[in-house]
Amino acid sequence: MPLLVLSQKSCNSIKIKRDEINQMKKTKVSIGLSNPKSPGNVGSVMRAAGNFRVDSVFYTGIRYPLALERNSVTENLRRKVSHDIPLSGVSSLLEAAPDNTEIICVEYALNATPLPEFQHPDNAFYIFGPEDGTLEQAMIDQADAVVYVPTTGCMNLAATVNVVLYDRLIKSYAGTGSNSIENNQRIRQNRDTNNNVKVR
């Protein structure tokens, strides 16, 4: 039987990959929605939660469940990617914050950190304000960090969630040495059945 000999470089590469996987398993990411009103927005947030592998989503207020009751045929934007992620109504987002997570409020608040400059903690609870309002000062005061997306005007709730989670993802990729084989495997696993295009 032939003997498999690994170079030191190969061993280091395997160790780095294993360390990356272990680190990903250790991180905990949750989302809090303060009094959302649109089932479409919440559905799109849930889809983002699935796309970016969020652990759980919490919301406060009665507007979202009442809107669901009034329009029970609202298109389900969650898609199957997020079916295993719990969506829970709570009375207080701060009290619902998972253990050992840093509270990150996303809000256009004076002295907030621009998202491009923000370094995401490993374990984070991102809290977003309502579509037609803002987070309360008391919540801002208890946050570990407050960030904002530097756009002209404010974005839609679901769009903001997607941008923040993508920023977290792209910053976590820095220095991981991802290669084209890994990228193509990810593309094959995640694109839908109608997509057969490729870059030549």
Check pLDDT > 80 for residue 199. no
Overall pTM surpassing 0.85 (yes/no):
no
**Which has more pLDDT, 123 or 78?**
123
Segment 150-172, tens digit of pLDDT = 999 889 999 999 999 999 999 98
Three-state SS at 22: helix
Coil, strand, or helix at residue 57? strand
Kindly indicate the confidence band of residue 193, based on its pLDDT and cuts at 50, 70 and 90.
low
- Give the residue-averaged pLDDT of 1-17: 50
Q: What is the mean pLDDT of the chain?
A: 82
What's at 60, amino acid-wise? T
Contact 33, 42 (CB under 8 A): yes
CA distances from 121 to 26, 27, 92, 175, 176 (A): 12, 9, 22, 17, 17
pLDDT of residue 84: 85
**pLDDT (average), residues 40-69:** 93
Contact call for residues 90 and 58 (beta carbons, < 8 A): yes
Q: Which residue has the higher pLDDT, 184 or 156?
A: 156
Checking if the pLDDT of 37 tops 60, the result is yes
The strands making up 102-106's β-sheet, listed across from edge to edge, are 87-89, 56-59, 28-33, 123-128, 102-106, 145-148, 113-114
Cα–Cα distance for residue pair 95/99, rounded to 1 Å: 10
Percent of the chain with pLDDT over 90: 58
Q: Which domains does the chain possess?
A: 25-174 (3.40.1280.10)
- Helix axis angle for 39-51 and 63-70, nearest 10°, is 110
Distance CA 15, CA 139 (A): 41
User: pLDDT value at position 190?
Assistant: 59
Amino acid 26: pLDDT:
72
Length of the chain (residues): 200
